[in-house]
């Protein structure tokens, strides 16, 4: 498999995905305030570019893992909006029948193997998926998303050693927004670049602007082609910028931040749109439809979620153990 550069058709698909993520997250923020969605929710507003550029290049049989900020990754991997929304509302129609919630979203059908509430917790699990793929002689590739905070956790380093030793098809995608929860990276380590943390190991690595969809697409595409050819592991550090707080607060703050001039220059959606127009891939007038289609899909998802019943209590016990 060879990496292919982004073209107009793909760019439109990516934009559609990014709009879906952005509007979905905005709606979730509103629903959280209205208490339709309760509990801990972490929104990926502003970070849609990485999710879309990475996941759109993957197949359903490529397992993807994420951290607690997982909605965008799940959506980009193919999780249906309605079942995702229903999950956040705790309904039976949800991806996990209401049992998991925002931080424990799973969509096996599309290869979204799970989010996690424990920072770095999925990194060794993704390693296991990569090992399984190798053992089964497949060319599927395991991908795990995590933030820069996870890189200081022991499990990251344990995983890198083994992935390198065994040369597994694992792509580590770090969304480095310079913060872990409420703490800046400089308080966590004196190694500034995440990619330098794997410096002792023979791991192909790159650092890109995470809000430049074309750059992420290209870099990830190269690693993906290589991994399918049996090489690995890889580390792709995507420099991003997190709008708003660590977990969801006021959606109004997000709107404000999105509208700010300095953000408009960084916004992955706006940049890809500008790029596409400049490349002659599409005219500006096709773009509003992407946003409105996404908005409609999100509203449909909300309706679906609200109409879905709460799960029966018998489900709880039934889910504790797998049946013999």
Partner 1 sequence: MSAPKGVKELDRDRLVWMYTQMLRIREFEERVKRTFVEHPGVIRGHTHLGDGAEASIVGSIATLGPDDQFFATYRCHGYPIARGTDTKAMMAEIYGRKDGLCKGIGGSMHLADVSNGFLGTSGIVAAGIPHATGAAWAAQIRKRGQVVLCFFGDGASKQGAFSESLNIASLWKLPIVYVMENNGYNVHTRSEQEDANRAAGEDLSVKAKAFSMPGVTIDGLDPIAVYETVGAAVARARAGGGPTLVESVMYRLSAHGNLIAPPGVPLHYPEHEAIEKFGAPEEYEAALKGDPVPAFRGRLVADGTLSAEEAERIAGDVREEMQAAVTFGLASPFPDVETALEYVYA
Partner 2 sequence: MAHELPYIAAIDEAITLEMQRDDTVLYFGQNMATTENEPYVDAFGKDRVRVTPISETAEIGMAVGAALAGFRPVVELYMAEFMLVAMDQVLNEAPRFRSMSGGQVKVPLVLKAGYGFTAGWAGQHTGTISSLFMGVPGLKVVVPSTAADAKGLMATAIRDDNPVVYLHHYLLTLEHGEVPDGEYLVPFGQAAIRREGGDVTIVATGWMVDRALGAAERLAAEGIQAEVIDPRTLAPLDTQTILESVDKTGRLVLVDQATRHASVASVIAGEVAEYGFSSLKAPIVQVTALDATIPYSEPLEAWVLPNEDKIVAAVQQVLGTAPVTA
Query: Is residue 319 involved in binding partner 2 (CB under 8 A)?
Result: yes
Rounded distance between C-alpha atoms, residue 123 and residue 217, angstroms: 22
**Of positions 16, 60, 117, 166, contacts partner 2 by CB under 8 A:** 117
Query: Is residue 157 involved in binding partner 1 (CB under 8 A)?
Result: yes
Size of the site for partner 1 (CB under 8 A): 23
Nearer of residues 195 and 308 to partner 1, judged by Cβ: 195
Rounded distance between C-alpha atoms, residue 311 and residue 274, angstroms: 45
Query: Is residue 207 involved in binding partner 1 (CB under 8 A)?
Result: no
Rounded distance between C-alpha atoms, residue 285 and residue 288, angstroms: 7
Binding range to partner 2, per CB under 8 A, among 57-65, 72-80, 97-105, 125-133: 97-105
Cross-strand partners of 64: 112, 143
Nearer of residues 202 and 323 to partner 1, judged by Cβ: 202
Residue 99's binding partner out of partner 1, partner 2, none, with CB under 5 to 8 Å set by partner kind: partner 2
Instruction: Find the radius of gyration of the CA atoms of the chain.
Output: 19
CA distances from 187 to 30, 182, 183, 192, 242 (A): 33, 10, 7, 10, 18
**Of positions 34, 136, 165, 187, contacts partner 2 by CB under 8 A:** 187
> Residue 100 in contact with residue 83, Cβ under 8 Å?
no
Rounded distance between C-alpha atoms, residue 115 and residue 127, angstroms: 15
Residues 6+ apart with CB under 8 A from 205: 195, 198, 234, 235, 236, 237
User: Min. distance of Cβ 122 from partner 2 in angstroms?
Assistant: 11
**Of positions 184, 200, 229, 230, contacts partner 2 by CB under 8 A:** 184
Binding range to partner 1, per CB under 8 A, among 93-101, 185-193, 217-225, 244-252: 185-193
Residue 165's binding partner out of partner 1, partner 2, none, with CB under 5 to 8 Å set by partner kind: partner 1
Query: Is residue 40 involved in binding partner 2 (CB under 8 A)?
Result: yes
Query: Is residue 310 involved in binding partner 2 (CB under 8 A)?
Result: yes
Residue whose C-alpha is closest to residue 233's, from 145, 147, 141: 141
Nearer of residues 164 and 207 to partner 1, judged by Cβ: 164
Rounded distance between C-alpha atoms, residue 319 and residue 300, angstroms: 29
Structure tokens at 212: 């430049």
Query: Omega into 310 within 30° of 0, i.e. cis?
Result: no
User: Min. distance of Cβ 140 from partner 2 in angstroms?
Assistant: 26
Cβ density class 84-118: b for 16+ within 10 Å, e for less = bbbbbbbbebbbbbbbbbbbbbbbeebbbbbbbee
**Of positions 152, 206, 277, 297, contacts partner 1 by CB under 8 A:** 152
Binding site for partner 1 (CB under 8 A): 152-158, 160-162, 164-165, 188-191, 196-202
- Footprint of partner 2 (CB under 8 A): 38-40, 87, 90-91, 94, 96-104, 116-120, 149-150, 152-155, 180-184, 187-189, 310-311, 313, 315-317, 319-320
């Amino acid at each position: 498999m060879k990496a292919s550069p982004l073209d107009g058709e793909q760019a439109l698909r990516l934009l559609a995905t990014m709009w879906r993520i952005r509007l979905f997250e905005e709606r979730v923020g509103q629903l959280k305030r209205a208490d339709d969605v309760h509990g801990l929710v972490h929104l990926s507003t502003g970070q849609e570019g990485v999710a879309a550029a990475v996941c759109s290049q993957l197949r359903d049989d490529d397992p993807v893992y994420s951290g607690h900020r997982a909605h965008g990754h799940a959506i980009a991997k193919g999780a249906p909006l309605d079942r995702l929304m229903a999950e956040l509302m705790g309904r039976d129609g949800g991806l996990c029948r209401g049992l998991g919630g925002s931080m424990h979203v799973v969509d096996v059908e599309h290869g979204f193997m799970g989010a996690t509430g424990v920072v770095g917790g999925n990194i060794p699990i993704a390693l296991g998926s990569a090992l399984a793929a190798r053992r089964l002689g497949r060319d599927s590739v395991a991908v795990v998303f995590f933030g820069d905070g996870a890189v200081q956790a022991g499990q990251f380093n344990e995983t890198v050693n083994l992935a390198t030793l065994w040369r597994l098809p694992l792509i580590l995608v770090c969304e480095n927004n310079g913060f872990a929860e409420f703490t800046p990276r400089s308080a966590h380590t004196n190694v500034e670049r995440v990619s330098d943390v794997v410096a002792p190991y023979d791991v192909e690595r790159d650092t890109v602007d995470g809000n430049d969809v074309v750059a992420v697409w290209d870099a990830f595409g190269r690693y993906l082609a290589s991994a399918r050819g049996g090489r690995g592991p890889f580390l792709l550090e995507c420099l991003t910028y997190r709008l708003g707080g660590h977990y969801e607060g006021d959606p109004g703050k997000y709107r404000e931040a999105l509208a700010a001039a300095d953000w408009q220059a960084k916004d992955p959606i706006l940049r890809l749109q500008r790029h596409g127009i400049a490349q002659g891939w599409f005219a500006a007038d096709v773009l509003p439809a992407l946003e409105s289609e996404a908005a409609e899909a999100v509203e449909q998802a909300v309706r679906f979620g609200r109409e879905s019943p709460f799960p029966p209590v018998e489900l709880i016990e039934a889910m504790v153990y797998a049946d013999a």
